[in-house]
Amino acid sequence: MRPANKLKLSIAILFLLCLFTYLDRPFPTSRTVYDSVPMPTTSEGNLQASFEFLSADKKNAQSWSLPNYIASVTAEHPQKTGAYILENGFEALLARAWLADHATTSIEVQYFIWSNDNIGTLASEALIRAANRGVKVRVIVDDLLIEAEDKTLLALAKHPNVEIRIYNPKHQVGTNIGKRLWNIIADFKSANQRMHDKTFVVDGVVAITGGRNMASEYFNFHHEANFRDRDVLILGNAVTKVSGNFNNFWQHPLSVPVETIFAEHRFMRASTEISNQEVAGIYEQLHAYANLDSNFEPALKQAIRSIPESFERLSKEIVWTDVEFIHDIPGKNRLTDLQGGGDSTRALATLVNQAQQEILIQSPYLVLSDRAIAMIKSSLQRGVKITINTNSLASTDNLQAFSGYRNQRKELLKMGVRIFEFRPDAESRGKLLNSPVIDKYKPAVFSLHAKSMVIDNKIAYIGTFNFDPRSENLNTEVGVIIRNQELSKQLAQAIEQDLKPGNSWNAQVDNPDQYVSTSKRFQVWLMQLLPLRPIL
């Protein structure tokens, strides 16, 4: 990129930073989670008592363990991977909670967003409880949208069985606003290279990956707005590759321990020292928060307790097949400009180029690069039918990305692509949004966040890849390619359900933009004038 263009791009980004606090998630931010939890009085000597591990006798007394159970199931399907699609957010939350409660040796967690809202706090508490049992917990979180106080991060990392690393810390952790702006201007590409991976691995034998971040709106628990999202639970062969990818990120210099970050930036911030008493207090706050029925509904606790029966049912519904875990390397590409692609990009491009009959895509953000548009044209010329489900202006949580899509919408429709835009009042909310919070508050907005693709009704992709330049060239992405007709048809049916008139508008005939205010349409029009496509 020429210096003049780089300068224009930097100015555009600075303008956006002034308009938006978040680049990827402008849903309402939850209040501080500890407002209702009194600070307990603890002595420094109580710290050790909170780390109570299971004795060898207690472990031997257990007749059932997660690794043994999974091993007994996978032994019947050597060299295969079991896959189960998690369409419902509440079900996806229960699966994570139950697996964390039954972990015996390790939990490896990798997320783009970790919020300090209800779900993020309960997840942190679940990890601390697992660590108290002797489980080794390792967490990697991207720096851009992490929500956590400095001392909370340090307190969690102080646990002898917990390690936390921040990926590419140039925006939030240990960084003030001046340093953040300098990082953007001085090394624009690096500041935009984010870790968009979302994986959850327990005991090295079971994993969950897909579109969901660790925040309330991804699990049907936000009071105002929630996402229609999708994950996949996998057992067997492909789990080893998920763990291997986690270790690659863990060992990479871009993943920095939180203790190192605060030690290196101490002179720029208020004191980040933390005493054992403060650590114990934060742990007790987390446990107290999780034990309040107003924060952790009794219905949710009961659902988690009943999972063993559900897991038996789930194990019978798992499809054993060939599953390929695709991922990018830390840092993505090495080119000097904002292009370059990555391993995930090339894997998905191969699927598109091999399609013979139909391509069905579901992506919250649709901003196609010139190469992607060329592939779409080539596929259409081969007679391939292409249908895309994406957000409408009324449902999107990312106006910047929508502005890029709006610049291309007419061209894509003219080419022959069928586009359906998700409705914020989608009728499918009744089926997909079922949780204690949803039943009580009935949030108004439903937004698409699932990232999936089906090729010829026989190959399915579920993962983190948005069909935009940011996923193509900048963010690291993960996902699974499932070569199985049964699961592919199951995924296609779920997406086709979202295409129905009660769930989405047909962009060819419905003019979905009419359902938002003039001021919102004007705001997006202004963004359309900016040279933002390479970073959308």
Mean pLDDT, the chain, as a whole number? 84
Q: Quick one: pLDDT band at residue 109, thresholds 50, 70, 90?
A: very high
First-last CA distance in the chain = 17
Q: Quick one: pLDDT band at residue 462, thresholds 50, 70, 90?
A: very high
Residues of 324-334 as b/e, b for ≥16 C-beta within 10 angstroms?
Answer: bbbbbebbbbe
pLDDT for 298 beyond 70: no
Check residues 277 and 412 and name the one with the higher pLDDT.
412
Phi first, then psi: give them for residue 460, nearest 5 degrees: -120, 145
Q: Which pLDDT score is estimated for 42?
A: 32
The three-class DSSP label of residue 86 is strand
> How many Å apart are CA 173 and CA 33, to the nearest integer?
19
DSSP structure class, residue 344: H
Mean pLDDT of 399-406: 96
Predicted TM-score (pTM) of the model is: 0.87
Q: Which pLDDT score is estimated for 459?
A: 98
What percentage of the chain exceeds 90 in pLDDT? 57
Q: Which pLDDT score is estimated for 147?
A: 84
Contacts of 374 (CB under 8 A, 6+ apart): none
Q: Which pLDDT score is estimated for 38?
A: 29
Q: Which pLDDT score is estimated for 46?
A: 29
Q: Which pLDDT score is estimated for 434?
A: 65
Asked whether 532 and 524 are in contact (CB, 8 A), the reply is no
Q: How many CB atoms sit inside 10 A of residue 98's CB? A: 21
Least confident among 54-63, 368-377, 489-498:
54-63
- Give kind and range of the element (H or E) at residue 390: strand 385-391
Mean pLDDT of 485-514: 97
* Range ranked top by mean pLDDT from 207-216, 278-287, 313-322: 207-216
The three-class DSSP label of residue 306 is coil
- Paired tokens of 48: 């050790």
Q: Which pLDDT score is estimated for 54?
A: 32
